[in-house]
Structure formats: structure tokens, C-alpha cells
Structure 1
Amino acid sequence: MEQKNSPFDLHLLTDLAVESRNLTMQRTGQELEGVRLDEEEVEHAKITRIRVMNDRAAQAIGKKPGDYITIETRELQQGERQLHEYLSGVMAKEINTLVNYPGLTKSLEQEPTILVIGLGNWNATPDALGPRVIHHLLVTRHLYDAAPADARQGMRPVCALAPGVLGLTGIETAEILKGVIDKVHPDLVIAIDALAARETHHLASTIQISNTGIYPGSGVGNQRIGITQEDMGVPVIAVGVPTVVNSVTIVNDTIDKLMQDQNIAGTKMQNRLQQINDKQKQQIIQQVLQPYLGDLIMAPRGIDKLIRDVGRVIAGGLNIALHPDINQENVSLYLQ
């Protein structure tokens, strides 16, 4: 997100547009003007499409104007290959609604060059989604120009990079990326990153796709240079999966549960808790978590397996979206 205040501000603890919209509606009690919502149920998944249509709406929910697509499914956490291949196909279809491939190049006969960036720290498992996706991605740019024309049909020139993080390289990720873009001249950048969620049920079960770019580390309070079309000079598609939640979320959800469930809290305590307003609740959370736990970030159990599985789903979706000859039925053959 573009703006950060207190680490205990519940509205700033998510990278997901669907959560930001829901939180803002809860706060205002009304539909948001300038935000269009479309929901669709498909097999094994729910797809939510949000369009932020103007700057006023963007300021209200803390998301740039543009399109945000959320694919929610518990099947991401299962290890069934056929389900994962199906979800890769769903993801590819949604990506392709945001990309006009012929419009990316000056010639209709020329295929656009796509640069895929795997953001994150490969040494920290919850943050290693981007590098894991790059590990499985089918890259073709180095072979594309050398191959005969008939061999190139059905494929596009794709290159990839996992640049690491500032703490590993001493260089801002956006600075590395800008240097690569100036040399490679891609027509499209796709950035993959691990996200932070406000609601625990979204962990490793939600894929967000947007055409607004990304600010690495924003969901956990880090200020970084944006990877956006304005900053990079080329269109940017962002793909992410929430892998962590903030400790503030856990404490807040516990208080809400006590307020709502009389069997847990008892009538007397529940009545007292229901008299607490948002400001007072935030003060309680702050007292519980200060001075050291306010920035505590937590990942679900089995995160290493989740990252491996989700990484293959994302890579499969990108392979299908970027290469016309790859489809849901044969995608597993092209995963590195």
C-alpha cells in the first residue's frame, strides 16, 4: 500500500484489494462510489473482480486505480496435481483479460518480450514465493531468436529474474529491475510476490492479479520504490499470494470473537466488550503487543510445502498465459 501510519492500524495490514474494500465498507457502512465489484463462482474457486475507477475511490480503499482480480480456493493447499493444473488454467484466463498482447508491440507479426520478476527473499520461506515461481517457469528468450520460425510458433520470448531483497544485495529491487529493463527492453513485466493478508482464511488460498504494479514489502510496513508502469516505463502485472498475517490481526480477531460469542466470553464480559469502540480496541491491541510484538509477522504451519505447491500453480498459470501452445492439459510437461 502507498501510505503507512501506525502498525496497529487495521486498515493498513493487507495487500489484498478485496480486504481493503471490505474494511472500508465496514468503516463507512455504505457501498463505495467509484469501486465496481463483480463476483463469479467457478468449479473449485471464487473469482472476485474489483475495478477502482478514480483517484477518490483509490484514496478511500488505499489501492491505485486499476483492476484487481482475486481467485479464492482452498484447493491451493491440497497436493492434487489435477486440481493445481485446473487452477493454473483459471489463473491464466484471468491474466489474459488484463493483457493485450498484440497491443504491446509495434508490429502484429512480432511477439512481445515478457520479463517475469520473482520478488522476495529466497532464504526466508514465507517470502520465497517469487524465486520459487521463477524456478519452475519456462524461459525462452535466450532460444527464441536462434530458433527457426516454425519452432517459435506457439511460444513467446520470456525471460526471468529473481533479484533478491535489499538486505541481501544492498540495492533496491526497483533499481535492479530498472537497469535490466533498460538493457532487455521487455514489452511487459510480471512481478510475483508474497503478500500479507488481513484475514487468516486467505493465507495460501488466494491469488491476487492486478494491472497496477506492486510496492514490495508494503503489507508488512516496508517502504520501497514501486514496480509500476510509471516507475518502470512498461506495463506491469502483479501476481501475489498472501503467506503471512500480522500479529495485530490475531489479537483483533480474538477480541472480535469474544465480542460475538457469548459461550466463550460469558454475558457480562461480552456486554463490556461490545461497549468498546474502534479507537479503544486499537489502544488495547497496542498495549498487548508493545513494545516488541507489533511488527511480529506469522506464517501458517507447513509453509515450506505450501510455497512449493503454490509456486508450481503460479508458474503453470504464467506458462499457459504467456505461451499459446501450452494449456491446462499439458502444462505439467513444461514446469521446470
Structure 2
Amino acid sequence: MSMRKDKMTGAWLRGCGLAMCLVLAGCSDSSDAPARPGPYAADDLWLCKPGIAQDRCRDLDQTITHIQEDNSQVVYQHEIAADPEFDCFYVYPTVDQRSEPGNMLDLEAGENLMLRPLVNQAARFNSVCRVFAPKYRQMTIGSYGVEDVRNSSYFSSAFADVEEAFEQYLLENPGRNFVLMGHSQGSHMLLELLARRFENNAALRNRLISALVIGPVGWLEVPEGEVVGGSFANIPLCTHATDNACIVAYDTNAEGAERPQREQALPCVDPTRLGGEPGLLANMIYNDQEGIPFPEGVETSWIGWPQMHTASCDSNGYLSIGTVQQERQPTVPPELVQLVLGGSLHQADFNYTIGDLLRLVEVQADSMP
């Protein structure tokens, strides 16, 4: 057992007592919050959390340069919300690229890997919500090759951390409404959390603004043409900007990329059609850590291309990304395309839609009873 695992286990035992831990390990608590603190009371198990000494979401310079229609450049300062009325609980995607099955046990050593998706996906949400982002012993990329991975020990270990972190969030924030946000493996963890904690718990669903389950790559099942059923009976896909306790899910794909026709289309919620300008993405952003050349004159670490990209759900259920003006570069940056997936923009699932998602969660939060 690793030192990190020893620390987490020891903290858990001290927090709730051995007898209580054995009970919690054997059943799911249907209450709205845990009775006692667990290991995630420790600040060093969080990347972002209000009040901790090193909040990675607050420490970033998120000043951004927008490239306008005439290719002029406008610099915008990022403003952190002073007293937001809701929270965002974020679970990052796979960053452990080892080919052998396993879990990331040394969370301190892996922190730099966690920061890249955090920066691109979650940090900018602190303009509208308080961001909570736990570290967790996620599965390696190689674990996805294991038969029935959802029932594997690798998945169980990763999910146990996410669930404990969420329990700690509930304990410390009674009554607060929240958005769940995840990408790829993070979305897989959230789907499990929704199934175990929300599907049969009306009290928690009443606090759920929405769940951004981005890039689930087939793990979310909804009958084609329906908004509910399959994975969930009580948590539908979002169909209007004012819907709550619903799911926004999609997998992006480059427009025109040839992919085999699926027997059943993936669930696809186009965020531009939930109160935005249908078919036109509000803003695609990325930063200078992606290795993509910036236009001459850009001095910020972030660049944005407002209303340059189009989006629509195709016949396979992919959110197909195209461009409005070919002369505005880049169109679909080839550096972001995972060629092994044949046109998938999986790595940039959040980058293309973040402007619409930020707007959407604000509207949804205002619509809460």
C-alpha cells in the first residue's frame, strides 16, 4: 500500500471510526450529506477549493485575447466571481497514460499532469461558480482495455475517491446548489455518482443544477429519440436552458470526418441550442501550452475565437464542429485532433463549447426553484 493510500486510509479511520467505515463500505448512504468528515477534509487532496492555501483555479492568469471577425485582437481580463451563488464540482479526465492497468497512487507526483485539463476545462468557471476539483486515484489509460472495466478494482478505487470527495463537499456546503462537471474518465466517474447518489435521491436532485458529462464516449445510454431511459429513469438529457437536474453530454467530431455509422446514435446535447445562438459556438479557446502557434501580436496565454465555429449533432450522435469563416485561422487545429480516433476532437471537447457552457450554467442556476 502506498504512503498516499496509507494517509487517506488513516484519515478516513480517524474521521469516522472503524465500525462506521465498515458500514459505509458495505452500503450507499441515501442521505443528503455524510455524518462525519473523511480523508478529503485534507486540503492537499484538492486542486481547487475555496479557502485552501493553493487553489489552482485562482492562481492562474486567464487573461485572454479574442480574435474578432476582422482579425483584430481584443484583450479581456478574467474576473473571478466575488460571491457566486452556486458551486461547480469537477472531475478531470485521464492524465495517467501508462499502458498497463492500474491506478495513479502518487497524487503529489501526478499533480502537474492534472493541471493541464484543469486549466483548459474547469478553471474559467470560477467566473460564475466556486470550483471544487479533487485529486483522485484515477485509472490509467491501459485500464480501459480490461474486460468489464466498470466492475474492475481499478474503477472501484478511482470512484471511491470521487465519491468520498463529493461526500466531503456535501458535508461542508449544506444546502448549496451545484453543477457536476467532468470529461472522459471524469464523466465516467460522474455517471457512476449520478447512478448511486442521485437517481433515487430526490433531495440531491433538487440541488443539482445540471451535470456536464462531457466526452462520455458511449458510457451514457439513452434510447435514440428519447431524453430519458437507458442509464437513468429520473435524470433526463437537458432540452431547454431552464432545465435542472439534467445532463449535458456530447462527443465532438470534426465536420466532414468519416466515421462508421453507429447502430444507435450517441446521446448528443448541443449546448448552442440551449439558449444560445443555435448552431454557432460562442467562443472556442485554448492556451499556449497546447503547442499551437498563436497569431502574431498575441501576448496573453489564452486565445479565443468567438463565433467562429459551428456545431450540430450528426446522425451518429457526435457534436460535429465546423467553421464559419475559413480565412480565420485556425479552423479545426490538426494538433487537437486525435488521429487514432479518426477525426475525433475529444481532447478539445470543452475548448470548443466553453463559452456556451458558461452561459448555460448561469441560466440554469437562475432557474433553480
TM-score (norm 1): 0.30
TM-score (norm 2): 0.28
